Amino acid sequence: MLKNHPTIQHIVGRAGWYLVTFFVAITINFFLPRLGDANPVDTIMANVGAGLDSASAREKEEAYLKEFGLVEVDAGGKITRDAQGKPVRSSLASQFINYLSMSLRGDLGGSILQHPKRVSEIIKAALPWTLALQLPTIVFGWLLGNVLGALAAYKRGVFDKVMYPLALLASAIPAFCFGMLLVYVLGIRLEWFPAVGGYDDGLTPEMSWAFFQSASYYYVLPFLSVFLIVVGGQAIGMRSMCIYELGTDYVKYAKLLGIDESKIVFYMFRNAMLPQLTGLALALGTMVGGALITEMIFSYPGLGMAVLTAIQGNDYPLITGSTLLVTVCVLLANFSVDVMVGFLDPRIAAARQTSK
Amino acid sequence: MKLLKSLLKSPFFVLGLSLLVLTVLLAVLGPLLLRVDVNTRVGLAYMPPSSSHWLGTDHLGMDMISLLIAGLRSSLYVGFLAGSVATVLGTLVGLYGGYKGGLIDDVLTVGTNLFLVIPSLIVLILLSASIENGRSLSLIALIIGCTTWTWSARAVRAQASSLRNRDHVALARINGYGTFGIVLLQIMPYLLSYIFMVFILQMATGILSEASLSMLGLGPYDSVSLGKILNEAKTNEALTDGAWWAFAPAMVLITVIVFALYIINTSLEGVFNPRLRK
């Protein structure tokens, strides 16, 4: 019975779609870095034997080659070498299969730059920071932006005249510019908040009051810089959505009937909310990208910073590991929005029923 | 003509257009009026603004005015090229899918939505990081254009599919027009204003994407860009040294361009969409 419920069907359908998207994303994640001249295989291969004559360095390089399946290995676990003693490369297909099976097991390989550390360890340490920064900014920014936008559309007048240009400006300021401005003015000049980092130097991340206090103090500037931009963008979208709704027949009719104004606003808000929610799903990727750059400006210990250090050090396992994780997070967030839409949108239930 | 008149009545449009014209003029006339030289050191690192160097010098002792004009030129160029590529790609995919409908449309829509969900910055990072030699400004612009076209395809498709059952389209089909003839001659003219708005937004996206890449240290090797100026200032401690002239003007320029494009877009929307007109 429940299985045939239209909302459930919608959710299952979406889940299947996201699964396909995930496989496309993981394929892109493997092949794109290998398109150019600075691909990971060359980078790692070039280091083998290049000035690394010490036995331990050689061992380290061989471990990488084997771990990522970059070279052919014989039955005894030894790297196959050609006449010149160079390791023989394995085919792209077998590399891809190796990458897929590793990633699906949650193993993203070892980091090159921070050697004995695993990529998954580094990401596990960075992920909470990114989630703590981005989830609240996007959720609360979306809510506040929508309320402000609806108010501006309904009230018009002075409120709209002040809010609208401000929102336009806020949404036009690139995240990294706004971040740098906050770092410079509030962090370095006025010294109101710490300019860079995630917590005080002397502390280690743990569940203690002192750490929490320090972390929330460092949280203020990065939070503000992402939050205000999200609020501005959402307010503009909601404003034009509500102006559209104001001109519709049902609002005019309700007004003629003399229905309570707050009730009309509620109807309007509910109708304009849904496109805003689907709009959020589409904008998530851009928002997350902007927030990642913001993390770098603030040297915030999240995934953005991990990507930056990885790029600077040509640490391919860390680059692809973190980009894969960011993509997975965005897909999960999108899926949750879709699930919400499935519950909120009466048309989904109706469409499924009529198509039967 | 009537359209232009009502556009010029909108204060936002006038403001946006004048800001955009000003920045373009600065980029075009700057090298003619001022000595723009981004290869010579003219002084010490982070010299404050003075009469000989109006906006001081950067961490290498280069003249900031020269860097800013060169950076502005690159950023506008990237915006234009990336915006054009994205608009053409998006429009073609959107028009074709929207007109054809059926299986082709489904496939194109699924593909578009797929790449809409995967963050374009991630794709940009992966691609740019793999190109070490020859990551030129034009190549970066092309890559940006090829990764950011998806939402315009989606937007154009929705419009095109609403036009495909119009009488004049059916008439053209009966008269033996080919698919591309119909798409380009019968459907696209109706959407020109819409496509122009898409282009404006894609330009802004292109400029922002290049700046983001440059902030990651994945910027062009052959040119100065506004994003690169910001990145250099950030990595060379301009913020902590209090050398505001090394980053604030570049920040203002990027924001002004993007702001101008955004408000041009919203005021166009207000004029083209009669429901928003007041």
CB atoms within 10 A of CB A270: 11
Q: Which amino acid is at A258?
A: G
Asked if B215 lies within 8 A of A25 by C-beta distance, the reply is no
Residues 189-208 of B with CB under 8 A from A: 204, 208
DSSP assignment string, B170-201: HHHHHTT--HHHIIIIIIHHHHHHHHHHHHHH
- Per-residue pLDDT 10s for chain A (356 aa) are 556 677 788 888 888 888 888 888 888 888 888 776 666 666 666 655 455 556 666 676 777 777 777 777 766 667 777 667 667 777 778 888 888 888 888 777 777 777 778 888 888 888 888 888 888 898 899 999 988 888 888 878 888 888 888 888 888 888 888 888 888 888 888 878 887 777 777 667 677 777 777 777 778 888 888 898 889 888 888 888 888 888 888 888 888 898 888 888 888 888 888 888 887 877 788 888 888 888 888 888 888 888 888 888 778 888 888 888 888 888 888 888 888 888 877 776 666 555 54
Tokens encoding A110:
């070892």
C-alpha dihedral (A213, A218, A221, A223), degrees to nearest 10? -70
Report d(CA A40, CA B129) in Å as an integer: 10
Tokens encoding A189:
């000049």
B11 close to A (CB below 8 A): no
Distances (CA, A) of B15 to B19, B116, B202, B265, B267: 6, 32, 20, 12, 10
User: Apex CA B271: angle with CA B156 and CA A273, to 5°?
Assistant: 65
3-class SS at A266? helix
A285 close to B (CB below 8 A): yes
Contact call for residues A21 and B114 (beta carbons, < 8 A): yes
Tokens encoding A206:
């743990």
**For the segment A255-271, what is each residue's pLDDT rounded down to a tens digit?**
889 888 888 888 888 88
Expressed in angstroms, the distance from the first to the final Cα of chain A is 15
Report d(CA A288, CA B145) in Å as an integer: 20
Enter the ipTM: 0.83
Contact call for residues A306 and A122 (beta carbons, < 8 A): yes
B131 close to A (CB below 8 A): yes
Distances (CA, A) of B48 to A3, B58, B59, B226, B230: 70, 9, 11, 19, 17
Expressed in angstroms, the distance from the first to the final Cα of chain B is 19
B274 close to A (CB below 8 A): no
Report d(CA B94, CA A56) in Å as an integer: 56
Closest CA to A295 of A281, A307, A279: A307
Q: Please report how the helices A175-182 and B248-272 are oriented relative to each other, as an axis angle in degrees rounded to 10.
A: 140
- pLDDT attached to residue B78: 94
Q: Which amino acid is at A177?
A: C
Report d(CA B254, CA A215) in Å as an integer: 31
B151 close to A (CB below 8 A): yes
Report d(CA A241, CA A147) in Å as an integer: 12
Upper half-sphere CA count for residue B94 (Cβ side, 13 Å): 27
Residues 30-69 of A with CB under 8 A from B: 32-39
Mutation site for B-interface testing, chosen from A176, A178, A182, A312 by largest number of B Cβ within 10 Å: A176
Q: How far is CA B252 from the centre of its chain?
A: 16
Asked if B129 lies within 8 A of A38 by C-beta distance, the reply is yes
Which residues in chain B have their CB less than 8 angstroms from residue A333's CB?
Answer: none
Report d(CA B111, CA A183) in Å as an integer: 40
Please give the average per-residue pLDDT across B227-245, as a whole number. Answer: 85
CB within 8 Å of A257: residues ≥ 6 apart: none
Tokens encoding A202:
């002397």
CB atoms within 10 A of CB A31: 15
Tokens encoding A61:
């390089």
Q: Which amino acid is at B237?
A: E
